[in-house]
Amino acid sequence: MSTSLKDFSQISKALTELCFDINILYVERDSHIKDEVTRSLKRYFRDFDFVSTGDEALFKLTSRRYDILVINLKTLKIDACEFIVKIRKLNRRQRIIVTAAQCTFQETFDLINMGINGYILKPFPMRSLLSQLSRVSKQTYEDKMLLQYVDELEHEASELRKNQKPTKQVAPVVTIEEKIIANDLFFDDDVFFDMDDGNVDLEHLHVSDDNKITASELFEQGWFDPYAAEDIIDSSKALIEILDVYEFLSSEYLDEVIKRIQIFSTNLITSAEFGNLAGTLIEFNLALQKLSAKFDSNDESNALFKQFIDAVIADLISWTNEVLINKSANDVHYLDASLLSSIIMINSMIENK
């Protein structure tokens, strides 16, 4: 499809706004094409490099990270999919645009399944290349901004915890058991929910029936990185092993859970669709870290904490199966509200510990 002058004007504007901090590695051996691409790129990108072969690209990527890799398939000595596997081992989030003079349907299908971010048939006008770079740069920019925002939130939370002054207890501490007896909590499927705290936040996270996103739609529309999904599935399998191995609450158990939950949140945050869930898991990990810092093997409440955390882990394992593996969930956000309840509850438990 050709790019109109109006479309190109919008592309040019987007490139100017987004690409100042985006770097590119371009793999091309044709000197004429290199010259033409250089003239176009230097208008928008301040940081781009050229290499002539796939081997040179692999070597370059071992010493430096590039936001976008553009590669002419003719420069490869090995199968394109095999090359992309090697690239993903160096950086599983590497954004890749492929150029090719000719490609069979099967080759194209295989490349798409490998998760390439763009495909351009040669010969192509510079507008086509810049259009692809504009789209992929926008994705890269949004990911960087989202990760920067999460880092800032974590830093602010850390500063607040460091500067928080202990306050005098003005009311008697109410234990979890006492709250259960007083009917302030109800117990369902091994998970405690506080009936008085956080109801507004829970309602905020509910998604209306008209706006629900199914698991199958999520992947059909390409709204979630398949490599991020693989990492989460691996962590889910590790959590299953943790449940089997650790019978009692221990520092080792908490360390393993924290490590796996961090992988969940780090991969979920790459998709704006799961920003709420990722943020909630980050808060859950902070709560677990507080629990780990206070851990006492002789504490009588350890069994209660273990039961509670195991229930949250079971929910995450079930969510992974329904959303990422079987893709059977009718609403990919069904876990958000209950997980927020868990955060409220575990923080309350730790404060009363």
CATH number at residue 18: 3.40.50.2300
157 domain residue, yes or no = no
List, for residues 91-144, the tens digit of each pLDDT value. Answer: 888 999 999 887 776 777 778 777 788 888 888 888 888 888 888 888 787 777
The secondary structure of residue 189, as a DSSP letter, is T
Span 143-152, mean pLDDT? 72
Does residue 173 share a domain with residue 100?
no
Residue 343 contacts residue 201 (beta carbons within 8 Å): no
Q: Tell whether 177 and 308 lie within a shared domain.
A: yes
The strand pair at 191-194 and 185-188 is best described as: antiparallel
User: 190 and 97: one domain?
Assistant: no
Look at residue 147 and tell me if it is in a domain.
Answer: no
Nearest to 301 by CA among 176, 132, 152, 133: 176
Count of CB atoms within 10 A of residue 262's CB? Answer: 15
**Are 44 and 108 within one domain?**
yes
pLDDT score for 238: 92
The answer to whether 45 touches 24, Cβ cutoff 8 Å, is yes
275 part of a folded domain: yes
Residues 46-104 have pLDDT tens digits of 899 999 999 999 999 998 999 999 999 989 988 888 999 999 888 888 999 999 887 77
**Whether 88 and 174 share a structural domain:** no
For residues 286 and 219, state if they share a domain. yes
Q: Do 132 and 210 have their domain in common?
A: no
Element at 234 (helix H, strand E):
helix 226-245
Which helix (H) or strand (E) covers residue 266, if one does? helix 251-268
Q: Is the domain of 195 the same as that of 267? A: yes
Q: What is the pLDDT of residues 286-345, one digit of tens each?
A: 888 888 888 888 888 888 888 889 888 988 998 999 999 989 888 888 887 777 777 777
Domain assignment present for residue 224? The answer is yes
Q: Does the structure show a pLDDT above 60 at 171? A: no
The pTM score is 0.44
Please report whether residue 156 resides in a domain: no
Q: How many domains does the chain have?
A: 2
Confidence of residue 197 (pLDDT cuts 50, 70, 90): very low
Domain membership of residue 202 as a residue range: 166-351
The answer as to whether 62 is a domain residue is yes
User: Does residue 320 lie within any of the structural domains?
Assistant: yes
Same-domain pairing of 287 and 345: yes
| Same domain, yes or no: 76 and 183 | no
Whether residues 127 and 258 fall in one domain: no
Longest dimension (CA), the chain: 80
| Final residue in a domain of this structure, among 138, 153, 181 | 138
| Burial letters 324-336, b for 16+ CB under 10 A, else e | beebebebbbbbb
Residue ending a domain, among 138, 158, 176, is: 138
Amino acid type, 349: M
User: For residue 4, is pLDDT > 60?
Assistant: no
Write down which residue in 120, 138, 156 finishes a domain. Answer: 138
d(CA 323, CA 41): 40
Q: What are the tens digits of pLDDT across the range 213-268?
A: 888 888 887 778 888 888 899 999 999 999 989 989 999 999 999 999 988 888 88
Q: 194 and 101 in one domain?
A: no
* Tokens linked to 6: 């109006």
